[in-house]
């Protein structure tokens, strides 16, 4: 097979399989929450944590991996548990991976529900149920709650997390709950300060128009190669 035919074959296969596969990989979105400790009575590695100590929680979600609630204007994006990092006064709070009972941890967006917007971390799409975390040095699993609600229904424009990129502080803040405890009893509470959603990944893939151009180019190269071979054959025949 000639080099030009190999090139044409490669381009054709790229176009064919590129069109057969998904045309774009969804973006990864990072969620980062910050604030100070309000109070803490949890033991283990939390001993010594004082009010005012910094609290940071971060994780990523795939903008294309979500579940819409059939009951409320909420959408849950599946949390990448391996990306979850939380520190309280510099002390780690690891998330339980996998979650107990095979539950899924979601980062949920609320849009006009019914006239408020917000975010919560939950194993439920409709309501903020806690996710399971470990306290280093303590055996029992603890519960992490996170919820922020804004009484302005225009904070979010849709349930698409890519439309929600940005930083949200305490302006128009209605309710928040950021805490760790057991059985609904808070052993530690944290004052919400801000949440930032930012795009952190996603490889660009050619759009259908680009793939079509490659196909046209491949066909053009093939036609040109055939014309050259035909011309050469014609010259040899006339010289004979």
Burial of 43: CB neighbours in 10 Å, binned 0-12, 13-18, 19+: exposed
Question: pLDDT tens-digit profile of 118-152?
Answer: 999 999 999 999 999 999 999 999 999 999 999 98
Q: Are residues 187 and 230 in the same domain?
A: no
Does position 114 have pLDDT exceeding 90, yes or no?
A: no
- Kindly report the pTM of this predicted structure: 0.75
> Which phi and psi (to 5°) does residue 204 adopt?
-65, 140
Q: Are residues 125 and 233 in the same domain?
A: no
Q: Are residues 63 and 89 in the same domain?
A: yes
Question: pLDDT tens-digit profile of 70-104?
Answer: 999 999 999 999 999 999 999 999 999 999 999 99
Q: Outline where the chain has alpha helix (H).
A: 3-20, 208-239
Q: Are residues 212 and 158 in the same domain?
A: no
Tell me the residue range of the domain where 158 lies. Answer: 28-201
What confidence score (pLDDT) does residue 215 get?
47
Give the contacts of 78 (CB within 8 A, at least 6 positions apart).
Answer: 61, 62, 65, 66, 67, 104, 105, 106
DSSP secondary structure letter of residue 10: H
Mean pLDDT across 38-58: 98
pLDDT tier at 213 (50, 70, 90 boundaries)?
very low
Q: Are residues 98 and 10 in the same domain?
A: no
Q: Are residues 13 and 60 in the same domain?
A: no
What confidence score (pLDDT) does residue 9 get?
54
What confidence score (pLDDT) does residue 127 get?
96
Does position 198 have pLDDT exceeding 50, yes or no?
A: yes
Mean pLDDT across 181-203: 92
Q: How many domains does the chain have?
A: 2
Q: Are residues 153 and 224 in the same domain?
A: no
Locus of tokens 């283990």: 44
What confidence score (pLDDT) does residue 220 get?
55
Q: Are residues 195 and 224 in the same domain?
A: no
DSSP secondary structure letter of residue 50: -
């Amino acid at each position: 097979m000639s080099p030009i035919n190999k090139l044409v074959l490669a381009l054709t296969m790229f176009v064919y399989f590129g069109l057969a596969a998904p045309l774009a990989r969804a973006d990864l979105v990072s969620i980062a929450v910050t604030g100070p400790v309000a109070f803490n009575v949890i033991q283990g590695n939390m001993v010594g944590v004082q009010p005012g100590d910094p609290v940071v929680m971060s994780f990523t979600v795939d903008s294309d991996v979500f579940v819409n609630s059939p009951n409320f204007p909420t959408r849950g994006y599946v949390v990448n548990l391996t990306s979850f990092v939380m520190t309280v006064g510099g002390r780690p709070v690891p998330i339980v991976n996998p979650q107990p009972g095979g539950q899924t941890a979601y980062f949920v967006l609320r849009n006009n529900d019914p006239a408020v917007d917000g975010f919560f971390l939950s194993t439920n799409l409709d309501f903020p149920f806690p996710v399971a975390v470990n306290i280093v040095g303590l055996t029992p699993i603890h519960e992490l709650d996170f919820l922020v609600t804004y009484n302005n229904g225009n904070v979010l424009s849709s349930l698409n997390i890519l439309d929600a990129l940005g930083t949200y502080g305490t302006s128009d803040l209605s309710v928040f709950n950021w805490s760790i405890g057991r059985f609904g009893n808070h052993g530690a509470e944290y004052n919400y300060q801000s949440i930032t959603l930012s795009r952190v990944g996603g490889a660009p893939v050619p759009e259908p128009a680009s793939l079509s151009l490659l196909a046209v180019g491949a066909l053009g190269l093939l036609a040109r190669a055939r014309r050259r071979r035909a011309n050469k054959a014609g010259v040899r025949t006339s010289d004979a």
